Amino acid sequence: MKILRHILVLPVIFFAVLSADGESVTSWIRKKVENLAAQPTLNDSIKLFCLPTLQKQYQEHFYTPFWSSDVRIDELMSLIRHCDVDGLQPTDYHLKILDSLARKAGNENAATRDILLTDAFILLSSHLLNGKIDPQTITPRWNISPVDDRIIRFLIELPYVRVGDFYRSIIPQSHLYEGLRYQLKKYREIDKQGGWETIPSGKILKPGNDDSRISLVRKRLLSTGEYDGPEPEQPDFYDDQLSEAVILFQRNHGLEALGTIGPQTLAEMNTPASERIRQIEVNMERIRWLPESFPDYYILINIPDYMLFVYDHHIPVGEHKVIVGRTYRKTPIFHSTLQYLVFNPTWTIPPNILKYDILPEAQKDSGYLAERNIQVFESNGTKLKPEKVNFASADASGYTYRQLPGDQNALGVVKFVFPNPYNVFLHDTPSKRLFNRVRRTFSSGCIRVERPIELAQYLLMEQPEWTSRKIDKTIESRKTQVVRFNRKPEVFLVYLTAWENDDGQLQFRDDIYSRDEPIYKELKSSPDESN
């Protein structure tokens, strides 16, 4: 059927191309595309971004125009004009010169316009599919090569596929992306209307207080939807309904949700709508970096949220607080697959922790290692007595330091291993109290997980020999045991500072590693174009 449709449409294209006066549009396209081999700019001045693909596709299709239909041109131009709904900039996609060419007659201008429409389409499609910014280098993708096969297939089938349908098929399909698109529109409307009034600082506000700032708090929460009640008879009184709205706001911003309004809550309330828009746009870009669809079974760890979620058949089946890397020992972002766990793990101390944490303490206290059940080995495996080691010597940093299983072991009673180049894994911790903190950046890069035995029980659920009783007895033995998973979840470490949760509540988190601003700067950058 597709072949038949191609045959039926060819006479229309042939007529449209050759019925124009003078040199045909096809001839002009051939000249211009062939000239690109010697001079990689169109008309000697207009930069193209998808040059290899563009040349190849025009050659393979005998230089016939891809954009011979006014309907398809209008659809693409509309998509370019409104790509800001995805946090992108219309001016990045030849918008100005395409608008000027629309007002010019002649086959040469038609050829230039067709080439620019093709280049804009490939660039915009690639940005929607993979992001405008390369997450590895945090630089914009202006030279697009290679190109996703779906883009090429669309160009080939362009006469009978609507641009809007293609666009809807390539934008991220996750609820995370759709939620942020909705919230971006909402916050832009708020910003257009002037945003919200700044709430002055002052004493901590608590339910039951009378304060002139209370009416401002109510208006602030009304604008973003946390408060949806009527204007009370006493607008300056902090009533129960407002308290519930404040608690919701605090939860939505990763704050301690007590209902009291102190400096941190005020700072979040006073963050301008324009800054929240920037945050939303940055995180839409991050979502474009993620896989188009997640597997049935996976673990998602959002670093700024300090949370781990287990999904089975796309349904959330468990959530755990986590502790992530300090700001100077950042937990990396990557994707892997969970392979096995280790009960009663030993801990071989990494070089950085050894250098900055362990050796300085051992120099001050000769009993430091013994108290923590840490053994010292030479490179040949010979065990050394800690009291005989000169920890201030250069030799000390060359030894292997291994902490045995036990109550003080830094990895706790279980660790979860997924191969990665950063030597990052999930593990238990003896420092349980730290999970009560709101900001949980205390690790050296690995991820400490709350209730790890519960997580292990779920992950081993389809291995019936590993009953709760057997897990408990294994831990009590203090013997190290490796258990490989029969069913292995994929693991995604992500960095989202804005997203919409399952309840439709927009979530904001602190940019703990200062990663938002560089992305926003590049997201709003434009190529050097002379058009």
Domain ranges of the chain: 2-170, 196-271, 294-346+405-496, 348-398
Please state whether beta strands 340-343 and 400-403 pair in parallel, antiparallel, or not at all (unpaired): unpaired
Rounded to 5°, angle at Cα 158 from 156 and 163: 130
What tens digit of pLDDT does each residue of 133-183 get? 999 999 999 999 888 999 999 998 988 889 999 999 999 988 899 999 999
What tens digit of pLDDT does each residue of 403-424 get? 999 888 999 999 999 999 999 9
**Is residue 528 predicted with pLDDT exceeding 80?**
no
Q: What pLDDT band is residue 8 in, cutting at 50, 70 and 90?
A: very low
Q: Give residue 13's pLDDT.
A: 42
**Is residue 12 predicted with pLDDT exceeding 50?**
no
What tens digit of pLDDT does each residue of 461-517 get? 999 999 999 999 999 999 999 999 999 999 999 999 999 998 999 999 999 999 999
Q: What is the rounded average pLDDT of the residues 47-51?
A: 95
The CA distance from 82 to 90, in Å, is 7
The residue with tokens 């389409």 is: 121
Who has greater pLDDT, 95 or 229? 95
Is 82 assigned a catalytic role? no
Please name the residue ranges forming H helices in 103-141.
Answer: 107-130
- How is residue 527 annotated by DSSP? -
**Is residue 5 predicted with pLDDT exceeding 60?**
no
The CA distance from 172 to 477, in Å, is 48
The CA distance from 190 to 176, in Å, is 21
The CA distance from 242 to 304, in Å, is 27
The CATH homologous superfamily to which domain 196-271 belongs is PGBD-like superfamily/PGBD (1.10.101.10)
Q: Which long-range contacts (CB under 8 A, 24 or more apart) does 139-146 make?
A: 139/522, 140/522, 140/523, 140/525, 140/527, 142/49, 142/527, 143/49, 143/50, 143/51, 144/49, 144/50, 144/53, 145/50, 145/51, 145/52, 145/53, 146/53
Cis peptide before 332 (omega within 30 of 0): no
Strands (DSSP E) contained in 441-522 are 441-443, 447-449, 481-484, 490-494, 498-500, 506-508
The CA distance from 93 to 53, in Å, is 16
Which residue of the set 94, 127, 320, 427 is catalytic?
427
The CA distance from 85 to 8, in Å, is 37
**Is residue 520 predicted with pLDDT exceeding 80?**
yes
**Is residue 46 predicted with pLDDT exceeding 70?**
yes
DSSP secondary structure string for all residues of 401-444: EEEPSSTT-TTTTEEEE---TT---EE--S-GGGGGSSS-EEES
Rounded to 5°, angle at Cα 140 from 138 and 142: 150
The CATH homologous superfamily to which domain 294-346+405-496 belongs is L,D-transpeptidase catalytic domain-like (2.40.440.10)
What tens digit of pLDDT does each residue of 352-385 get? 889 989 999 999 987 899 999 999 999 899 999 9
Burial class (CB in 10 A: 0-12, 13-18, 19+), 393: exposed
Q: Give residue 22's pLDDT.
A: 67
Which residue of the set 50, 94, 320, 446 is catalytic?
446
Burial string for 365-392 (b: 16+ CB within 10 Å, else e) reads: eeebbeebbbbbeeeeeeeeebeebebe
Cut 0.85: pTM above it:
yes
Is 50 assigned a catalytic role? no
Rounded to the nearest angstrom, the gap between the alpha carbon of residue 442 and the centroid of all alpha carbons in its chain is: 22
